[in-house]
Amino acid sequence: MKILATTAVFAALAAPAFAGSASVAVQEPVVIAPAPVYVASQDWTGGYVGANLGYGKLDTPANGEAEGVLGGVHAGYLYDMGNYVVGGEIDYNAADMDVSTGTGKIEDLARLKLKAGYDLGRTLVYGQVGGALAQGTFNGVEQDGSGYLVGLGTAYKVSDSVSVGGEVNYQEFKDFGNSTNDLSGTTATARVSFHF
């Protein structure tokens, strides 16, 4: 009888200790965050120099069309403001743009540009406006004229110091060679630039 009473007392005392272990613990669900997306950022601020090669076609109402290759050098400075990039550039191109009627050729093309673009990381897309100067020979007489340009371009940084890209520009020169002969047309160039 003592054994039975002692067992009952121990069972009564131990019951609360086993009561908590009989329930199943519920854990909160584990939320896994998505992996971060790496976007290669690029700072376009700084100076640059480079070379360009392309093709141009200018209409000369009094003489026909002048078309051919052009190539040269460029230098500029860009300022990166986060999403937007602004800057300026000057370029010079030697040209071999023969006039279709055989009366002359465009030999030089120089331009001063203001640029504004959108920063897409390693890629920069931009528009530009500026002044342009063309020089050539017509009917054996050297002539030149000044005008304006508007254009679009893109550049892609293959490394921190080298970019490749291209531009398309429309130029118009009024009263070329102090005459009523106007020049207007488009040039397209491929470019490589070294940034510092």
- The CATH number given to whatever domain includes residue 188 is 2.40.160.20
Backbone angles phi and psi of 105, in degrees to 5: -160, 155
Q: How many residues are listed for the chain in this entry?
A: 196
> What's the pLDDT at 3?
63
- Whether residue 176 is contained in a domain is answered as yes
> What's the pLDDT at 179?
64
Phi-psi region of 142 (alpha: psi -120 to 50; beta: other; left: phi over 0): beta
d(CA 183, CA 96): 15
Dig out the tokens for 154 from the structure: 């893109």
> What's the pLDDT at 29?
72
- Distance between alpha carbon 5 and the CA centroid of its chain, in Å? 91
pLDDT one-digit tens code per residue, 66-112: 899 999 999 999 999 999 999 999 999 999 998 877 778 889 999 99
- Whether residue 69 is contained in a domain is answered as yes
d(CA 154, CA 158): 13
Largest Cα separation within the chain, whole Å, is: 138
Residue that wins the pLDDT comparison between 12 and 102: 102
C-alpha to C-alpha distances, 171 to 47, 132, 137, nearest whole angstrom: 25, 7, 18
Query: What average pLDDT does the segment 43-65 reach?
Result: 90
Element (H, E) at 71: strand 64-80
> What's the pLDDT at 144?
87
- Whether residue 18 is contained in a domain is answered as no
> What's the pLDDT at 137?
84
Q: How many helices (H) and strands (E) does the chain have?
A: 1, 8
The number of folded domains in the chain is 1
Angle formed at CA 176 by CA 173 and CA 177, multiple of 5 degrees: 155
> What's the pLDDT at 193?
98
The percentage of residues in the chain with a pLDDT greater than 70, rounded to a whole number, is: 79
- Whether residue 95 is contained in a domain is answered as yes
- Whether residue 35 is contained in a domain is answered as no
pLDDT one-digit tens code per residue, 120-166: 999 999 999 999 999 988 778 888 889 999 999 999 999 999 999 99
- Whether residue 177 is contained in a domain is answered as yes
Dig out the tokens for 108 from the structure: 């030089």
**Cα separation of the two ends of the chain:** 100
- Whether residue 93 is contained in a domain is answered as yes
d(CA 108, CA 22): 93
Structural domain for 176, as ranges? 46-195
pLDDT at residue 196 is higher than 70: yes
Residue that wins the pLDDT comparison between 11 and 114: 114
- Whether residue 13 is contained in a domain is answered as no
